[in-house]
Structure 1
């Protein structure tokens, strides 16, 4: 069990994480204007707060990666995920860290 507020260890992305990434893809593209030939979650870390924040490494094609910070609110009756932040110009080897 990880401490509340701390980041978990990095884990390979799951189908559930990919679904979250797919749900916020349009938010990312709208905010960043980055063209993506792919949008595949590679790995993730989780932070438990008032809800769950997933930090996800996403391969966007052409050997380029981004890190996404996705909030799933505690009361997610409407299943509304929010892209809180993102970082571009990442590599496959960049570690997911708090941002």
Structure 2
């Protein structure tokens, strides 16, 4: 059982996480000033807070990856998702860590 505030073990991305990525892609592109033809969620971890933080490794083409932190509110608070932060310059082998 995961403790509140701790990160889960990384797991392969699924359709739900890809949908979350698709929902914040425009925000990521605006923040980084780039357009991505490839934007594929590869793996993720979660952190339970007053909602859920998703730390997602995203393949953006070639050997390039980025890491996203996306916050999803609890359903009782609307359940919306928002981009919290993004890290560039990641590779397939870089572990997903809290940021």
Shared fold by TM > 0.5?
yes
Give TM-score, length-normalised by structure 2.
Answer: 0.94
**What is the CA-CA distance between 1:35 and the residue it aligns to?**
2.6
Change in 2 beyond 3 A, CA 1:46/1:61:
same
Find the counterpart in structure 1 of residue 70 from structure 2: 70
- Report matched runs for 1:9-48 at 5 Å: 9-48=9-48
Count of residues in Structure 1 that have an aligned counterpart in Structure 2: 98
CA distance in 2, matches of 1:80, 1:56: 17
**What is the CA-CA distance between 1:76 and the residue it aligns to?**
4.7
Find the counterpart in structure 1 of residue 55 from structure 2: 55
Which residues of structure 1 form unaligned runs of 5+? none
Find the counterpart in structure 1 of residue 93 from structure 2: 93
Q: Deviations over 1:55-93 (max 9, x none)?
A: 00000012100000000011352x421100010000000
CA distance in 2, matches of 1:24, 1:76: 19
Which residues of structure 2 form unaligned runs of 5+? none
Q: What SS does structure 2 have at the residue aligned with 1:41? A: strand
Give the alignment's Cα RMSD to 1 decimal.
1.0
